[in-house]
Structure 1
Amino acid sequence: MPAFFLLTYPAATLLLHGGASALSIAAAVISLALLFGPRMWTGFAPLRWDSADTRICIAMACPLAATLVSELRHLSVISNTLDSPSRFLAAAPLFLVLRRTSPRTLAWADLSFALGAVVSLAVLLVAPKVSGIDRLSSRFLNPIHYGDIALVLGALSILSLNWWRKDNLPVRVIKIAGLVAGLAASVLTGSRGGWIAVPVVAVLILYVRGRGKSRRWKLVLPIAMLAIVVGVFTFSHTARDRVTDISSDLLHYEQGQRDTSLGIRLQLYEAAVKIIEAHPVFGLGAHGFRDSMPSFSASGVLTPVAAQTGEGETHNQMLAYLTDYGLIGGLALLAIYVVPGVIFWKRLNTPTAPAGRAALMGLTFVVGFWIFGLTVETFDLKLTVAFYATMVAILAALATYADKTGNGT
C-alpha cells in the first residue's frame, strides 16, 4: 500500500476531485495506526525520535497552533479556519512512517512525479475547463494553482533522472516527457506568477548539481535551460501575452487605472500592510482581511473591484497569515518553508545518492511553493495544503531515510 500511494499520489491529486485531501487523510489515519498499534500487528518497532522527526512534526503543527492562539486571543474560534492548517499536522504521521519504510518501497516514488506531470497536461488536453478569464484548468482547480502544481511536478520529473539507478531509455523518455508536460500545462493555464520560480530554481539546480562537474557540463546545462525558456516564449503566444501584460498593467496603475490583474494585487498588498501596522502581533483574527474589505473600499484605499477580490483572497500567502494571525502566523508559515528547507539543504551532500537527490528535489519543491505564494494564496484551498504537506512529508522521508537505515540499503 505505501508503494502504491507513493507512485500515484501526485497524479491522483490532479485527476480526482478531492483526491489530495482524501488520500492525505487516509494516509494519516493508516500511519497513526501503524505508529501506535500493537507491534505484533503492525511490525513497526517503537518510535525512536531524532532531530528530523522532531523538527518536521513541530513545523507541521505550527500553522494550526498559530491559528488557534490568534483566534482565542480574539475570542472567536471559527471551525472552518482550522481545517486547512490541520492538514499540515496530518502529514506528520505519514513522514514518521515513511522514514521507517524500506528503501525498496520508497523507490516506488521514482516515476510518480513524471506521471503526475504528464497527467497535468493530459487533463488540459482531454477534459479541460475554460475559466471566465479564458484560461484552461481542470474541472475542480483554478488555473493558478493548477499551473503551479504542474510546473513543480515537471521540475521534479527531470530531477528524478537516474535517481535510484541509471534509468533505461523508456524511463528516461517518460521523465523528460514529464518536464515538457509540466511546462506545457503551466503555459496553457497562463499562471505567470509561478514562472518567477523558473530562474530561481534553475540557478539552485545549477549550483547544487554543478559542484564537481566539468566546465563543459556547466556550460551545456545553462544553455539547455535557456533554450527551453526561449522556445516557450517563441512558440507560445499565451506566454508572451501574459508577460507583456505585466508592463501594461504597471503603466495603467501609474495612470490611475488600478483595476488590472496586477493593479488589484498591489491595492490588496497596500491594504494588508496597513492591517499589519495596526495589528502586528495577533492580526485581525479569523477572516479578518476578508471582513475589512468594505471599510477599505469606503475609505478609497481599495476600488470596489479590488475589495470584492480581497473578499476571496489576499493574493500573497505571507500577507494572508500576517493580516489574520499576526506575527505568530507569519512565523508559523515560515516554519513550514524553512524547517524542511534546512533539512533538505543539510542533506544535499549525504553519502547515500538517492537521499541526496531527494534533498535537491525537496528543496526545489519548497522554494517553488514559497515563490508561488508571493502572488497567490497557496494554502487557501484544502487541496493545495494537503498537496504541499504530503509532498513535503514524502520528500523529507526520502531525503532522510538513510539516517535510520545507516547505509541506505
Structure 2
Amino acid sequence: MIRWCRFSASFLLFSFLSLLVVFHGAYAILPLVASGLALLCVFFWIVNRDSRWRLDREDGAFLLALLVFAAVWLGDVWRTGVWPVGEGNQGLWLPLWPVLAALVMVAWRQVPPRPGFWWWGVAFGALLVGGIAAYEHWWLGRWRVGNGINAIPFGNLALLLGALSLAGLVCLPSARWWLRLAFVLAAVGGLLASVLSGTRGGWVVFPVLALILLLAFHATRPRWGGRGSMVGLVAVLVAVLLAMSLMPGVPVKGRLSQGVANLQEYAGGDAGSSLGVRLEMWRAGWQLITLRPGLGWGEGRLEAQRDAWVEEGRFHSGISRYDQLHSDLVDTFARRGVPGLLSLMALYGVPLWLFWRHWRRGGDEQARALALCGVLIVVGFVGFGLSQSMLRDVRGLSGYLGLIVGCWCLLKGRRSSVPGGG
C-alpha cells in the first residue's frame, strides 16, 4: 500500500507539472484524482494504527494557512449566496480548492513523492510550453500565444517553470549531464513561451526571480568553480533573453511600446486601452476598499457596485467585462475586507517563511534546491498577483496550490530521510 501511494503521488505530481499549461483539463482532473487517492491513503493510515503520522508544527502552520484562506472565502460565499465562477464559468468551486490541497498535503506528507519526478515534471512542462509557443507563433502566425487559454496565466506559469528549471541547474551541480541539459533546454523553453505570450507582468517579476537565483548560485559557487562561473551564468542569461526579445515578430517591443502609449492615453483622459482599463479597475478597487474595508463587498456585490458606478459615468465601461480587478491584493481586499487580506498574506507568507527557513538552514543539495523552488514559486505568484488576479484564475489557483504543496512535501520528505535533516 505504501509503495502504491508513493508511486501514485509521484506520477500525479509529474503529470501535473508537465500538463498544467498544456492539457486544458489538467488543472482540475489531476487535483481531483490526487484528492481521491489522498482520501484512500489517509483512510489507510487511520485504520493502520501502527502507522506514525509525520505532521509537525511547520505542517500545522502550512495547513492552517490553506484552511483559513478557504474558510474566509467560503464565509464570503455564505453571506452573499454567490459562488465565484471564474473565466468561462470554469471556477465554480474555487473556494474549496485549498481544502483539497490540504487533504493532498496530509497524504503526501505520510508518503511523499520522489524528487526525480518533480525535476523531470518541471523540465517537461517547460519544454512542452516552449514548443507550443514556438509552434503557435512561427507556424500559426499568432502574435501573442496562449495555447487556447488566457495569455497572461499561460505566460506567467511558463516563466515560473523556466525559473524552476534554472533552480535545478543552479542547485544540483552533481546531477547527471542529461538532466542538466534538460534543465538548460527547459529554461529556454519556459522563457521563450513567456516572451512570445507578451505577458508584461511576468517580465517585471523575472528580474526578482533572477536575483534570487543568483543569490542561490553564489551560495553554491564553490561547487561550480568560483566567481567566473557566476559571471558566465549572468552573461548567458542576459544573452538568451536579449536574443529572444529581439527576434523578428516577437511581441516584446510592440507590447512595451503599447504600454507606454496606453499610459500616455490614460493621462490624457482615455481609459479605453488595455492598460487604461486595468488602471481603472485598480482605481475602482481602492474606492471600494475605502468604503468597506472591514468585511468588504462580497462575491457578486462587488461587481454590482462597480457596474453601478460605471453607469454613473465614474469609471470606463470596459471594467465591467471582467469578473475580477486584475490584482489579487486589490480584488481580495475589496471583496473580503481585512479578513480576506490577512488570509491572502498568510497564504503567501507562511509558505514563503517556511521555504526560506529551510533554504537558509542548508543541508544536502536536493533539499536546498527544493527549498529554493518553494521561494521562487511564492515570490513569483506574489509578483504575478500584483497585476493579475491569478488566484481567481483556475490554472493560477490550481498551479499555486499544487506547486507549493508538492514542493513542501518533497522538501519535508527529504529532510526526514537525511540523517540530521530534522
TM normalised by structure 2 equals 0.87
Q: Counterparts of 1:393-404 in structure 2 under 5 Å?
A: 393-404=405-416
- The worse-fitting range, judged by mean Cα deviation, of 354-363 and 15-24 is 15-24
CA gap of 1:102–1:379, structure 2 versus 1, over 3 A, is: closer
Query: Is the 8 Å Cα contact of residues 61 and 88 (structure 1) preserved in structure 2?
Result: yes
- Write the deviation string for residues 35-83 of structure 1: whole angstroms up to 9, x where unpaired: 2325677x982324311210111111122211233344xx323345671
Q: Is structure 2 residue 397 aligned with structure 1 residue 385?
A: yes
Q: What is the deviation of 1:327?
A: 1.0
Find the partner of 1:342 among 353, 361, 364: 353
- The worse-fitting range, judged by mean Cα deviation, of 256-265 and 288-297 is 288-297
- Find the residue that maps to 2:38 and give its secondary structure: helix
CA gap of 1:49–1:279, structure 2 versus 1, over 3 A, is: same
Equivalent in the alignment of 1:228: 240
CA gap of 1:173–1:221, structure 2 versus 1, over 3 A, is: closer
Q: What is the deviation of 1:127?
A: 6.5
Find the partner of 2:55 among 25, 49, 65: 49
Q: Counterparts of 1:235-250 in structure 2 under 5 Å?
A: 235=247, 237-250=250-263
Equivalent in the alignment of 1:269: 282
Distance 2:344 2:15 in 1: 28
Q: Is structure 2 residue 85 aligned with structure 1 residue 77?
A: no
Count of aligned residue pairs for this structure pair: 401
- The worse-fitting range, judged by mean Cα deviation, of 395-404 and 369-378 is 395-404
Find the partner of 2:22 among 5, 15, 23: 15
Q: Is structure 2 residue 49 aligned with structure 1 residue 67?
A: no
Find the partner of 1:153 among 150, 158, 161: 161
Distance 2:47 2:76 in 1: 43
Equivalent in the alignment of 1:137: 146
Equivalent in the alignment of 1:33: 40
Q: What is the deviation of 1:231?
A: 2.3
- The worse-fitting range, judged by mean Cα deviation, of 207-216 and 110-119 is 207-216
Equivalent in the alignment of 2:382: 370
Equivalent in the alignment of 1:111: 120
Q: What is the deviation of 1:313?
A: 2.1
Distance 1:107 1:101 in 2: 15
Query: Is the 8 Å Cα contact of residues 288 and 323 (structure 1) preserved in structure 2?
Result: no
- Write the deviation string for residues 171-215 of structure 1: whole angstroms up to 9, x where unpaired: 222211111111111111111111111111111111232136333
Work out the percentage of aligned pairs sharing the same amino acid: 24
Consecutive unaligned residues of structure 2, counting only runs of 5 or more, are 1-7, 86-91
Distance 1:379 1:373 in 2: 8
Equivalent in the alignment of 1:322: 333
Q: Is structure 2 residue 213 aligned with structure 1 residue 205?
A: yes
Distance 2:418 2:194 in 1: 39
Equivalent in the alignment of 2:100: 90
- Write the deviation string for residues 271-322 of structure 1: whole angstroms up to 9, x where unpaired: 10011011101100112332222222133321122x323x432111111111
Query: Is the 8 Å Cα contact of residues 347 and 400 (structure 1) preserved in structure 2?
Result: no
Q: What is the deviation of 1:330?
A: 1.0
Q: CA RMSD in A?
A: 2.7
Consecutive unaligned residues of structure 1, counting only runs of 5 or more, are none
Query: Is the 8 Å Cα contact of residues 100 and 404 (structure 1) preserved in structure 2?
Result: no
